[in-house]
């Protein structure tokens, strides 16, 4: 299912002029690929110097607080999120009350029930495929300016269960219009499942529904994902590449993921072990940060637009 952005087969034998004109009249307008499918420039914007940044495994760009990135550690840390600048300066270390950090793997920004934005923290890691349920914690996005950063924030617990047994997963996508939660599972065998909770509840356990699969090739394990603030661009990452989709108006995330993605072509493996990706508001750039001490924050920015012909 994985496809790049370039390369074309040899043209077929030309048909007669009448047939060509008829086909052209029926052909839909050329579809635009995401801007990130063209040339993409990588820039190191800074390094995370915070001592709390031990093993970062999720990244999300705030939509209401310019320049603020939210991140968290993988398993082994307490329940907290870090707010950092794009240069890596620590803005806030926020304890998430009412939450447990079993294996936090991703973070997304989505709508809060009463308005405004919320952080969705995905406690969905399950290396041994033993967890009867996984959890997404929803937290009203803390403010990091003005009167000072919040020291703690309460979480609502959204318990989820797969319909076909436990899975390891590291990518959470939040659909802003419908508020659906989408989990893309992690598999080194090259096939990931797409599971959706249309209406996750804070009472009881919500049963996920399998809505598709991604065949990305052997070794292409999905480690992070995001949806741009305008909802038009979806990105997933593996250890060595980013995969990008355009989302059409009225289309669900699962429907969009059924099409072929494109890839910017940048080798993300050179970053180190990468399990984080955050899209910009309009999907023309994305940020990454790897695990390890003083990790580099990188911004990948599209330098042009591409069109499918």
Residue 42 in tokens:
């990588």
Q: What's the pLDDT score for residue 39? A: 87
Q: What's the pLDDT score for residue 274? A: 95
Contact 110, 174 (CB under 8 A): yes
The domains of the chain are located at 30-302
The yes-or-no verdict on residue 9 having pLDDT over 70 is no
Q: pLDDT digit string (tens) for 16-66?
A: 433 333 333 343 344 467 889 888 999 999 999 899 999 999 999 999 999
Of 168 and 9, the structure prediction assigns the larger pLDDT to: 168
Strand partners, 207: 161
DSSP string, 212-239: EEEE--TT----EEEE-TTS-EEEEE-S
CA 278 to centroid of chain Cα atoms = 6
Task: Using alpha carbons only, give the angle 155, 114, 178 rounded to the nearest 5 degrees.
Answer: 90
Q: What's the pLDDT score for residue 120? A: 98
Q: What's the pLDDT score for residue 38? A: 85
The yes-or-no verdict on residue 230 having pLDDT over 50 is yes
Instruction: Say which CATH topology domain 30-302 has.
Output: Neuraminidase (2.120.10)
Q: What's the pLDDT score for residue 18? A: 37
Q: pLDDT digit string (tens) for 56-81?
A: 999 999 999 999 999 999 988 999 99
**In the predicted model, what is the mean pLDDT of residues 263-289?**
96
Q: pLDDT digit string (tens) for 87-129?
A: 999 999 999 999 999 999 999 999 999 899 999 999 999 999 9
Contact 292, 273 (CB under 8 A): yes
pTM for the whole structure: 0.87
Q: What's the pLDDT score for residue 265? A: 87
Helix (H) or strand (E) holding 253: helix 253-256
Q: What's the pLDDT score for residue 280? A: 97
**In the predicted model, what is the mean pLDDT of residues 154-161?**
98
């Amino acid at each position: 299912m994985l496809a790049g952005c370039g390369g074309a087969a040899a043209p077929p034998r030309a048909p007669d002029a009448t047939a060509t004109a008829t086909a052209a009249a029926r052909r839909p307008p050329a579809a635009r690929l995401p801007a990130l499918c063209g040339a993409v420039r990588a820039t190191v914007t800074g390094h995370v110097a915070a001592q709390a940044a031990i093993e970062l495994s999720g990244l999300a760009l705030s939509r209401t607080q310019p320049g603020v990135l939210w991140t968290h550690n993988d398993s082994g840390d307490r329940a907290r999120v870090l707010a950092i600048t794009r240069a890596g300066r620590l803005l806030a270390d926020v304890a998430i009350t009412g939450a447990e950090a079993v294996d936090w793997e991703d973070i997304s920004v989505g709508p809060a029930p009463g308005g405004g934005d919320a952080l969705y923290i995905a406690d969905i890691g399950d290396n041994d495929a033993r967890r009867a349920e996984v959890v997404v914690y929803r937290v009203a996005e803390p403010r990091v300016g003005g009167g000072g950063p919040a020291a703690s924030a309460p979480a609502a617990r959204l318990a989820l269960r797969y319909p076909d047994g436990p899975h390891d997963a590291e990518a959470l996508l939040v659909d802003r219009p419908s508020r659906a939660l989408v989990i893309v599972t992690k598999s080194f065998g090259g096939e990931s499942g797409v599971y959706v909770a249309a209406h996750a509840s804070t009472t009881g356990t919500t049963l996920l529904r399998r809505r598709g699969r991604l065949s990305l090739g052997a070794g292409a394990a999905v480690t992070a994902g995001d949806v741009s603030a305008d909802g038009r661009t979806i990105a997933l990452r593996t250890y060595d590449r980013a995969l990008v989709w355009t989302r059409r108006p009225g289309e669900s995330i699962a429907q969009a993921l059924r099409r072929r993605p494109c890839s910017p072509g940048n080798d993300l493996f050179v970053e180190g072990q990468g399990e984080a990706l955050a899209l910009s508001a309009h999907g023309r750039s994305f940020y990454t940060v790897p695990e390890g001490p003083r990790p580099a924050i990188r911004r990948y920015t599209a330098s042009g637009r591409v069109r499918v012909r």
